[in-house]
Amino acid sequence: MALLWRRQSVLPGFGLAMGITVTYLSLLVLVPLSMIFLKTATLQPAEIWAVVTSPRAVASLKMSFSASIIAAGINAVFGVLVAWVLVRYSFPGKSIVDALVDLPFALPTAVGGIALTAIYAQQGWVGRFLYPLGIQSAFSRLGVVIALTFVGLPFVVRTVQPVMEELEVDQEEAAASLGAGRFRIFRSILLPSLWPSILTGFAMSFARAFGEYGSVVFISGNMPLKTEITPLVIMTKLEQYDYAGATALAMLMLLCSFVLLFLINRLQAWSGARMSSRSPVEAPRPAAVGAGASGASGAGAGAPGVAS
Tell me what percent of the residues of the chain surpass a pLDDT of 90: 20
* Residue-level length of the chain: 308
Mean pLDDT within 188-202: 84
CB atoms within 10 A of CB 279: 10
pTM over 0.85: no
Instruction: Write down the pLDDT at residue 275.
Output: 62
Q: How far apart are CA 250 and CA 211, in angstroms?
A: 10
| Cβ contact 159:45 at 8 Å | no
Residue 295's pLDDT band (boundaries 50, 70, 90)? very low
Residue 284's pLDDT band (boundaries 50, 70, 90)? very low
Q: Report the candidate in 237, 71, 196 with the shortest Cα–Cα distance to residue 141.
A: 71
Q: What is the pLDDT of residues 95-138, one digit of tens each?
A: 999 999 998 888 888 898 899 999 998 888 998 899 888 888 88
DSSP letters, the chain, are -HHHHHHH--STTHHHHHHHHHHHHIIIIIHHHHHHHHHHTTS-HHHHHHHHTSHHHHHHHHHHHHHHHHHHHHHHHHHHHHHHHHHH---TTHHHHHHHHTHHHHS-HHHHHHHHHHHHSTTSTTHHHHGGGT---SSSHHHHHHHHHHHHHHHHHHHHHHHHHHS-SHHHHHHHHTT--HHHHIIIIIHHHHHHHHHHHHHHHHHHHHT--TTHHHHS---TTTT--HHHHHHHHHHTT-HHHHHHHHHHHHHHHHHHHHHHHHHHHHHHHHHHHS-TT--PPPHHHHHHHHHHHHHHHHHHHHH-
Q: How far apart are CA 80 and CA 87, in angstroms?
A: 10
Q: Is the pLDDT of residue 78 over 90?
A: yes
Instruction: Write down the pLDDT at residue 10.
Output: 64
Tell me what percent of the residues of the chain surpass a pLDDT of 70: 84
Q: How far apart are CA 113 and CA 105, in angstroms?
A: 13
Q: How far apart are CA 22 and CA 27, in angstroms?
A: 9
Q: Is the pLDDT of residue 304 over 70?
A: no
Q: How far is CA 83 from the centre of its chain?
A: 14
Q: What is the pLDDT of residues 244-278, one digit of tens each?
A: 888 889 888 888 888 887 887 787 777 667 666 65
